[in-house]
Each structure stands twice: as C-alpha cells, then as structure tokens.
Structure 1
Amino acid sequence: MKSHNYFVYITTNPSKTVLYVGVTNDLVYRLEQHRENRGKPETFAGRYFCYKLLHYERYTYVQHAIDREKELKSWSREKKMELIKSENQYLRFLKADP
C-alpha cells in the first residue's frame, strides 16, 4: 500500500503579525509558491507576505488533513499561537523537512 503525506501548515509574514493556515501534499513546493507570490494581492498569503513556516503537521489521509485545517482556521489567533509555541517556543522560522 502506497504511503501518502498531507500537511497542514501555518505560515506568517517576516514580522509575525499575520497567520495563514493551509493544507498541501507537497510542503516544500507549496512554500516555494508562497514565496513567489509575496506581495501579490490576488491571494491572502501573497497580500500579507505569509511565506515563513512556523508549524506543520503530517497526515496520511487527505480528509484528516482537511478536517484539521478547517479546525485550525476556526481558532483564534491566541489559540493558534499556543499550538505553535507548544513545539516552536521562540517562533523560529522552520525549514520544510517532511
């Protein structure tokens, strides 16, 4: 049986004032897309320069990843920050290393 990887991730802008939650099956490529879209007003992540990775979670099943993304998007900023700080206390920008 083939193993699948899906990622729910949280990015921010360089000054850490905006959070973006997304889901993808290729985290490295998706972060490259966010980086390339910096400053482009067509997308939320582009408009607010959200291309710095703060947190990610790996899932085997796409529906679990989508459900988790929806859950995180419904959270307050404070709750998202608590989640991020539980594994990334100093809010360091991460490298995608799936």
Structure 2
Amino acid sequence: MSLNVIVLLALLAVQTWLIPRLNNKFLLLIVPSIFVVLSLYIYRENLSLLIIIGLMFGFFIYYMAGLPQWDRDKPKRAQKKYLKEKFFK
C-alpha cells in the first residue's frame, strides 16, 4: 500500500469516529468538508471527474448520516414546544 492510501484510510477512520460525536450542525458540515479538501490535496495529481463525483457523493452520505445523529439529541425539547404551541394557543 502506498502512503497516500494509508493516509486516506486514516482520514476516513477519524471521520467515521468523529461524525457521530458532533453536537452542532455547523461542525457537521465543516468536518466532512475538511476531510474532502484533505483527500483532494492528497490525490491532486490523479484527479478525474469520477473521483470528484464520488467524493461529493460520499460527503453527502456523511452529512445525511450525521443529521439524524444531531437531531436525536434534542427532539424532546422541540417536540414539547411544538405540542404547547399546537394545543395551548
């Protein structure tokens, strides 16, 4: 294995470990984009359109997988507020 592949796998492992622990939607958007930029920098001489499309699709999957994780932390507060507004106007 080349050094680039090892570094990319390490970045993927760190990102996979870090995404479920984020408590902020802003960080949930920033952290995967940092890893996308780092992976683009690592493979800057071997880029093709297919690789860029794959990275964008992977970024989208990580973002969508992290949204339910973030929303799971605060549903009761939002649900209580919604129920109060709906039934006790």
**TM-score (ref. length: structure 2):** 0.28
Task: Answer 1 or 2: which has greater strand percent.
Answer: 1
Task: Answer 1 or 2: which has greater helix percent.
Answer: 2
Which of these two proteins has the greater Rg computed from alpha carbons? 2
Greater relative contact order (CA < 8 Å, ≥ 6 in sequence):
2
**TM-score (ref. length: structure 1):** 0.26
